[in-house]
Structure 1
Amino acid sequence: MFKRFKEDIDSFIKRDPAAKSRLEVILCYPGLHALMFYRVAHALWVRDWRLMGRFLSHFAKIVSGVEIHPGATVGRRFFIDHGTGVVIGETAEVGDDVTLYQGVTLGGTSLEEGKRHPTLEDGVIVGSGAQVLGPHVIGAGARIGANAVVLEDVPPGVTMVGIPAKMVMGRSKKQDSEFCAYGTPDGMKDPVVRTIEGLRDEINALKNRVQELEGETPQDNVESEQKLDVVSGGR
């Protein structure tokens, strides 16, 4: 248990340059506090001490501002930065080395029993305010941009932004090797700008095609008149 606790602390230091010491992380990071309470609450939950697990989870939400249902499954080196407003549902599954920022929701869209919350595979990063809704699988190493709303499965290693979220960047060697804060690669164009530029390119292509057709029309008319003259002369 203490080895796992040290591992969690080290993951906070590794992924947050503002963290200067383990003591600072222990005292000042609500994401770590929520994770500590979750570990105990989950142990109670799987041993059928479910009311106690829920109560401890509720207390952790009051203290840290993070709500992790004790029935959720959370892997190793889980990092919740800033923490406030994070919600993780009962059947959510979170792999190793996953990062969530403030305001993230791993929510369900069904009232039926069974799997209804998302699965985040290893190394996923979810930016602030993003929502992943439903029993969808977010592939290993994927990035979910800030305020995105994910309503479908996400392939491994891609970047998703927007409402609803769409893929804007595939896997790259640089992305695999570097940590991507807030799930948005540095220097990536605004998706709205990318869309406008795409529409502009299509309009320009259509204009060029129209000009080509208009340029062909006079020649076509000349050829048609010549054909008519030949027919008339033959008569």
Structure 2
Amino acid sequence: MGKFLSSSHGRLSCSECHSDIEEKGVKHPDPKLLGRSSTLLYDYKKCERCHPQEYQRYLKGAHAMALVQRKKDAPTCGDCHVTHYVVSNQSRLELGRWMTEMCGLCHPVAKKTYLENYHGKTAASLGHEASAYCTDCHGAHTCLSLKKKEEVLKVCQKCHPNAQIRFTGFVVHASEEGVKKEDVEKLKKLKVIRWIEIGFGILVFMVLAFFYAHTLVWFLRKVHEWLKKD
């Protein structure tokens, strides 16, 4: 209970969100038995009373659309926000790192590729607060997929005001997993990236091989000179 009281919702009474607990004959469920099924059954319209803007944005977003289409594991408010233990007054860095982990639960490939690119390394890894986190590009509640270049450009221009349409050619999530066959342009870029990675891998191997071979030859020469003196 103490953990709940110290959370953002700690000032609320239980009945403000769970009005049915005051109804006669309603038995309080065992918290240990609560899972995703109970999360889906909750009436999230109650969240709108305190969070009207966020709720309306959610309804217009990809997550709500997935829920309407009854897609498996479509996220609700409770999936992204641990409602009973929401921590308030977090710094941008703390919130960003938490968000990366939370989004990664449903989007593991996106999380992996994000952490491998410039944004992820500077933001989540190095703690540079000005760098972009998931919601800076995709939105916190609308959760845009950003498939169109025009949409991507608007997002990029938030941090890069002078960016032009060519700027959108940067591949943030460099993975073929989840990319549709119709997205020929991205698949071509991913092939180029893969060949560049292979090329650099070969180059690094050759440089190291030359270095160690040179060192070995130099060492053998020294041994030979030492034996020759004797």
**Shorter-normalised TM-score: what interval?**
0.3 to 0.5
Normalised to the residue count of structure 2, the TM-score between the two structures is 0.34
Higher-strand-fraction structure:
1
Structure with bigger RCO (C-alpha 8 Å, 6+ apart): 2
TM-score, structure 1 as length reference:
0.33
Task: Please say which structure displays the higher CA radius of gyration.
Answer: 1
